[in-house]
């Protein structure tokens, strides 16, 4: 069973408790950032956003069935007060819980059903290898993303290459790299489009200076179109790392494009350097 399938079971079994990312991660035997990355890359949902949506969808169904006490529904679905529940319910569905109970229907509400990923085809990964990576010195453009809005990453690359790359001093030969930082509890993560440099000169406005120490990496190849990259990430987080007994370090993944990568088509492949704990 994959990490995400385990997480889904834990969520559905315990959604009426004060469940949080730490609790789900502990039940799955991985770190919070590992779980956030595994869940987000496979489902397209930040885990806590999915958990809230499932709780509120269950609450909406109870209210439509005539539940007499809104506070009771709030407590049953993991909320500690009427006010917190009402605020979250309105943010999720655009109407207060009283409205749903009055009309006795969930019609028009965007309810979120349980995810079932068992039948989804999962990519076969080429065998990974371990490598001792040197220190990295780079200058790049950093942006914040979430797993339900990863379309922002190719847009970020276009802006970086068109407006910033040519202004970076002391650029090293080679294709720019991507740095994918660990996800937080809400499924948000920093991503940096970066050029490696031989030395730091003046850093152009809007860019950031990056220094990473030497590290041991597990290296995975992604040979498909770059638009399917997160399918490879999902297979790495959910199956490959646990199968090899490798534990990811709380450091950025380094994305290195293959020499024949074509940014115009997204073809050519890249390698994903996953930092490991020693």
- 116-169 pLDDT per residue, tens: 765 566 778 999 999 999 999 999 999 999 998 888 999 999 999 999 999 999
Number of domains in the chain: 2
Q: Say if residues 3 and 237 touch (Cβ distance below 8 Å).
A: yes
- Does 242 lie in the same domain as 156? yes
Q: Which helix (H) or strand (E) holds 27?
A: helix 21-28
Q: What is residue 199's predicted lDDT score, i.e. its pLDDT?
A: 96
- Does 150 lie in the same domain as 97? no
For 246, phi then psi, to 5°, come to: -95, 135
- Does 249 lie in the same domain as 134? yes
In a domain, 120, yes or no: no
Q: Which domain holds residue 28?
A: 3-103
**Alpha helices, DSSP H only, in 176-272?**
229-235, 241-244
pTM higher than the cut 0.85 = no
- Does 63 lie in the same domain as 170? no
Burial class (CB in 10 A: 0-12, 13-18, 19+), 227: exposed
In a domain, 193, yes or no: yes
Q: Which CATH number do you get for residue 63?
A: 1.10.10.60
Q: What is residue 69's predicted lDDT score, i.e. its pLDDT?
A: 87
Q: How far is CA 94 from CA 89, 90, 246, in A?
A: 8, 5, 43
In a domain, 116, yes or no: no
Is the C-alpha dihedral spanning 239, 31, 257, 212 positive or negative? negative
Low-confidence ranges of the chain (pLDDT < 70): 1, 15-17, 117-121
Ramachandran region of residue 276, left (φ > 0), alpha (ψ -120 to 50) or beta?
Answer: beta
- Does 173 lie in the same domain as 42? no
Distance CA 55, CA 110 (A): 13
Q: What is residue 264's predicted lDDT score, i.e. its pLDDT?
A: 82
**Structural domain ending residue among the three candidates 64, 86, 103:** 103
In a domain, 20, yes or no: yes
**Structural domain ending residue among the three candidates 103, 121, 138:** 103
- Does 28 lie in the same domain as 164? no
């Amino acid at each position: 069973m994959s990490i995400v399938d385990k997480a889904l079971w834990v969520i559905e079994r315990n959604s009426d408790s004060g469940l949080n990312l730490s609790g789900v991660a502990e039940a799955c035997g991985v770190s919070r950032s590992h779980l956030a990355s595994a869940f987000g890359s496979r489902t397209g949902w930040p885990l806590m956003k999915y958990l809230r949506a499932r709780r509120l969808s269950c609450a909406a169904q109870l209210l439509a069935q005539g539940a007499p006490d809104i506070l009771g529904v709030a407590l049953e679905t993991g909320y500690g007060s009427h006010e917190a529940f009402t605020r979250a319910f309105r943010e999720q569905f655009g109407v207060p819980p009283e409205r749903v109970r009055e009309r006795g229907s969930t019609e028009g509400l965007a309810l979120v059903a349980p995810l079932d990923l068992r039948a989804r085809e999962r990519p076969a990964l080429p065998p990974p290898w371990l490598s001792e990576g040197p220190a990295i010195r780079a200058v790049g453009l950093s942006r914040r993303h979430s797993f339900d809005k990863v379309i922002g990453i190719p847009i970020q690359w276009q802006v970086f290459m068109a407006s910033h790359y040519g202004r970076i001093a002391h650029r090293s030969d080679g294709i720019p790299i991507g740095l994918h930082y660990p996800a937080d509890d809400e499924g948000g993560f920093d991503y940096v489009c970066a050029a490696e440099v031989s030395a730091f000169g003046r850093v152009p406005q809007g860019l950031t200076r990056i220094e990473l120490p030497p590290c041991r990496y597990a290296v995975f190849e992604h040979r498909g179109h770059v638009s399917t990259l997160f399918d490879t990430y999902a297979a790495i987080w959910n199956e490959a790392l646990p199968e090899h007994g490798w534990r990811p370090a709380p450091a950025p993944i380094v994305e290195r494009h293959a020499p024949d990568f074509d940014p115009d088509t997204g073809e050519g492949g890249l390698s994903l350097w996953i930092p490991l704990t020693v």
